[in-house]
Structure 1
Amino acid sequence: MPSSREAMVHRGDEDEVCPVCKSSRYLNPDMRFLINPECYHKMCESCVDRIFSSGPANCPVAGCHKTLRKNRFRKQTFEDINVEREVDIRRRVMTVLNRREEEFDSKLDWDNFLEQREEMIFNLVNKVDVAKTEANLQKYAADNMSSIRANQALEAKEVTSFQERQNQEQELARMRRQAAREEYENERKEILAGREDVLTRLASGQPADAAAIAREGQKVILKKSSARRSEEERIRQKQAALRGTDAKKPGQTTATTAEEAGSGLIKGLKKVKTPEPEKPYDPFGGMVPNKRDYYSLQDDYPSSYLDPIRQDHRMLAGGYDLQEYYSRTLLEAFAGLGCFIDEEVSKREANSFNFVKPVGTHGALAATPGSQGDK
């Protein structure tokens, strides 16, 4: 009886043999095997070209009657073909059921959606109720095509944004390294130039001035270093402020239509609220000029006092307007008609907890009229 190690070796040899032409990788090291997601049967590239170049054909593996096309063949990614099949199924299902967490009313609804999606993947991987699962998946894809495309576009945008941020961070890191090298070189050159200047001044000066020249040169070097560090700190603070501003930007959300929110397959989606059309600008905030609730302003009121004024051009020439007088007088006359004191007092008493305020001390209670002390 062969050992388990020998069985694994023979199994590996069988995996490297084309099931159609029986060619082995041992005899042809350059042989390349391809698979088709329809049945996941592996065959060599020469057999694929020979059988499927003229058009679709049945799978040549015995017992498999699925129709295959050449453009669907690809190289196997994972060593285990079952893992390859599960990854393809998971990618296909998640491309259709690509709802996001912010589209659900609660965390429980989001968890239920994830469980439902994993259940569909499990059924397709283990071939349990495949027809029903595929029908539900196709029906959902047909009913929610706009939402699926919107989420796919948003996901692609997020991937692109992430790649751009990665490239920007790499470019900033490269610029920081380059700036550090340049700073190191500039600092080294400044130190050498300062030393040469000090040596030149010492060579041309007097011996008594040596200490003063050395101190002055050291002060110049320290001053330049301090200014450079202050500039670097300012640049770092500015970059940190810019990063904080970018982090505070609100995230984007997806929008779904009313028929998509009412899909029968996915439960717990948020109700779509159609935004109301923007109303025209009203400078008076809903109030109608010269309109009152209890009276209407007329152009003229008969009055023995106002009739002479209406005929006196001297008074009217100074800007006096009888319409303003009418408006102010009627407003003052009808101003209290909208106030109902009894209702306001009853409401205030109903909302108050204590109708009578307590007396602060026993002495005040005794001095209160009608108390026991006066009897």
Structure 2
Amino acid sequence: MPPVRNGIPNRGEEDEVCPVCKSSRYLNPSMRFLINPECYHKMCESCVDRIFSSGPANCPVAGCNKTLRKNRFRTQTFEDINVEREVDIRRRVMQILNRREEEFASKRAYDDFLEQREEIIMNLVTGIDVAKTEKDLQTYASENVASIRSNQALEREEASSFQEQQTFEKEQARLRRQAARQEYEDERREMLAGQEDVLRRLAAGKRDDAAAIAREGQKVLLKKSSARRSEEDRIRQKQAALRSSDAKKSGKAVTASQATGDTGLVKGLKKIKTPEPEKPYSPFAGFTTKRDYYTLRDFYPSSYLEPIRNDTRMQAGGFDLGEYYSRTLLEAFAGLGCFIGDEVSKRDPTSTLGISKPATEGAAMAAVSTSIANEETA
């Protein structure tokens, strides 16, 4: 079992000695080690400044020929370097494969996507088909730039919203504690004031009135406390209704990001339906407004309209005789383009003006039989 130093197990001198300059943390306690995500080889900060300050260079560790840059070096977060590497790979893959559940056609398709993403992560971590996996990731990233950026923006909005919600809840909790303290102080103050009032009335009253004064003081305190509790219940109900309405609005506000259908890497996405182009706006629902049967004039002689034409009170209200002329003539000539015979024949080819053929034959037979009966009677 490795020795323990300050509650942290010491993994030996390999973690305490720089592989480049062989400096030891034992001799230099302020030494700070850095790692680069390209190869995850640890080296001290002074070696990083000395080797990579002039520009990119090969890793100085024996057997590693990867080109490193100074701006990529950072402090190690986890003690185990394998965990550090897996976390970086997982973060990078999840930034690319950041599809959301609402983008998939079914829950099963989303679960298959999650399984596929974990398989890609494990291939990169364990070194299985690394070249092919990296190529697939790069191809997917280049083909789905818009959806990746959209989902990243949604994640940032959700994180910001969550942070704001946490801050709001903390503030509400602080206000509730403050209101509870204030309520306790008010109740205590009212109780003391009620007791003082009862004592003052007892001191100024008679001995026989003591029980009545005590009962009256108790009733006043109970009435105040019940009114305060009813007001608190009303405020709580109002706050609960506001929270539920906010939750419904936030749930409806979540929208799916831009999906482009199945890609070469991700399957089961919803198909995008291209909306039909909007038709030009028609205020009469597609009906023609051409005036083929009349010509609109600016003036029509009328004994009824002449007083209105010269009445400033009517004109001040926005009345326009031109609009009246146009509407009246349109209503008068609206039925000239409607031919009932053609419409009835389209609905029922065997009918003529709404009278079906069997009904016509029956009426003719009834008329003939009636005429015969009349002749026999005569």
TM category, shorter: 0.7 to 0.9
Cα gap change, 1:279 to 1:235, in 2 (>3 Å): farther
Residue 98 of structure 1 aligns to a residue in which SS? coil
- In the alignment, the residues of structure 2 paired with residue 211 and residue 281 of structure 1 have an alpha-carbon distance, to the nearest angstrom, of 83
Residue 77 of structure 2 aligns to a residue in which SS? coil
The code of the aligned residue for 1:254 comes to A
Cα gap change, 1:210 to 1:277, in 2 (>3 Å): farther
For 1:135-184, what per-residue CA distance to the aligned partner results, in whole angstroms no more than 9, with x for missing partners? 11112111211111110000010011111111111111110010000000
What residue number does 1:60 align with?
A: 60
Residue 34 of structure 1 aligns to a residue in which SS? strand
- In the alignment, the residues of structure 2 paired with residue 29 and residue 180 of structure 1 have an alpha-carbon distance, to the nearest angstrom, of 52
- In the alignment, the residues of structure 1 paired with residue 41 and residue 290 of structure 2 have an alpha-carbon distance, to the nearest angstrom, of 86
- In the alignment, the residues of structure 2 paired with residue 226 and residue 83 of structure 1 have an alpha-carbon distance, to the nearest angstrom, of 60
Mapped pair 1:253 → 2:255: yes
Cα gap change, 1:61 to 1:196, in 2 (>3 Å): same
1:112-151 to 2 correspondences below 5 Å: 112-151=112-151
What residue number does 1:239 align with?
A: 239
Cα gap change, 1:23 to 1:334, in 2 (>3 Å): closer
What residue number does 1:367 align with?
A: none
- In the alignment, the residues of structure 2 paired with residue 332 and residue 130 of structure 1 have an alpha-carbon distance, to the nearest angstrom, of 76
Cα gap change, 1:32 to 1:298, in 2 (>3 Å): closer
1:216-227 to 2 correspondences below 5 Å: 216-227=216-227
- In the alignment, the residues of structure 2 paired with residue 112 and residue 37 of structure 1 have an alpha-carbon distance, to the nearest angstrom, of 29
1:16 Cα offset (Å): 1.3
The code of the aligned residue for 1:176 comes to R
1:31 Cα offset (Å): 1.8
What residue number does 1:42 align with?
A: 42
The code of the aligned residue for 2:243 comes to R
The runs of 5 or more residues in structure 2 that have no matched partner are: 4-8, 295-301, 303-328, 352-378
What residue number does 2:360 align with?
A: none
The code of the aligned residue for 2:236 comes to R
Cα gap change, 1:190 to 1:127, in 2 (>3 Å): same
CA-based RMSD of the aligned residues comes to 3.2
- Checking the alignment, whether the CA contact within 8 Å between 1:18 and 1:43 is kept in structure 2 is yes
- Checking the alignment, whether the CA contact within 8 Å between 2:2 and 2:11 is kept in structure 1 is no
Mapped pair 1:108 → 2:116: no
- Checking the alignment, whether the CA contact within 8 Å between 2:57 and 2:68 is kept in structure 1 is yes
What residue number does 1:358 align with?
A: none
Cα gap change, 1:232 to 1:341, in 2 (>3 Å): farther
The runs of 5 or more residues in structure 1 that have no matched partner are: 292-296, 300-312, 314-320, 344-375
Cα gap change, 1:59 to 1:253, in 2 (>3 Å): same
Residue 84 of structure 2 aligns to a residue in which SS? helix
For 1:331-362, what per-residue CA distance to the aligned partner results, in whole angstroms no more than 9, with x for missing partners? 7767743443989xxxxxxxxxxxxxxxxxxx
1:282 Cα offset (Å): 4.3
What residue number does 1:193 align with?
A: 193
For 1:5-49, what per-residue CA distance to the aligned partner results, in whole angstroms no more than 9, with x for missing partners? 69xx99522221111111222222222211110110011122212
What residue number does 2:345 align with?
A: 337
- In the alignment, the residues of structure 2 paired with residue 49 and residue 326 of structure 1 have an alpha-carbon distance, to the nearest angstrom, of 89
The code of the aligned residue for 2:199 comes to L
- In the alignment, the residues of structure 1 paired with residue 341 and residue 350 of structure 2 have an alpha-carbon distance, to the nearest angstrom, of 20
Residue 14 of structure 2 aligns to a residue in which SS? helix
- In the alignment, the residues of structure 1 paired with residue 11 and residue 176 of structure 2 have an alpha-carbon distance, to the nearest angstrom, of 55
Identity of aligned residues (%): 68
What residue number does 1:349 align with?
A: none
Cα gap change, 1:203 to 1:86, in 2 (>3 Å): same
1:324 Cα offset (Å): 6.0
- Checking the alignment, whether the CA contact within 8 Å between 2:293 and 2:333 is kept in structure 1 is no
1:234 Cα offset (Å): 0.3
Cα gap change, 1:199 to 1:327, in 2 (>3 Å): same
What residue number does 1:265 align with?
A: 265
1:94 Cα offset (Å): 0.8
The code of the aligned residue for 2:254 comes to Q
- In the alignment, the residues of structure 1 paired with residue 24 and residue 227 of structure 2 have an alpha-carbon distance, to the nearest angstrom, of 73
- Checking the alignment, whether the CA contact within 8 Å between 1:89 and 1:121 is kept in structure 2 is yes
For 1:195-247, what per-residue CA distance to the aligned partner results, in whole angstroms no more than 9, with x for missing partners? 11111111122222222222221111111111100110001100111111122
Cα gap change, 1:211 to 1:281, in 2 (>3 Å): farther
What residue number does 2:179 align with?
A: 179
What residue number does 1:202 align with?
A: 202
Relative to the length of structure 1, the TM-score reads 0.74
1:162-177 to 2 correspondences below 5 Å: 162-177=162-177
- Checking the alignment, whether the CA contact within 8 Å between 1:19 and 1:61 is kept in structure 2 is yes
The code of the aligned residue for 2:242 comes to L
Residue 15 of structure 1 aligns to a residue in which SS? coil
1:285 Cα offset (Å): 3.9
- Checking the alignment, whether the CA contact within 8 Å between 1:113 and 1:267 is kept in structure 2 is yes
- Checking the alignment, whether the CA contact within 8 Å between 1:150 and 1:254 is kept in structure 2 is no
Mapped pair 1:85 → 2:82: no
- In the alignment, the residues of structure 2 paired with residue 41 and residue 332 of structure 1 have an alpha-carbon distance, to the nearest angstrom, of 90
- Checking the alignment, whether the CA contact within 8 Å between 2:262 and 2:268 is kept in structure 1 is no
What residue number does 2:324 align with?
A: none
1:292-311 to 2 correspondences below 5 Å: none
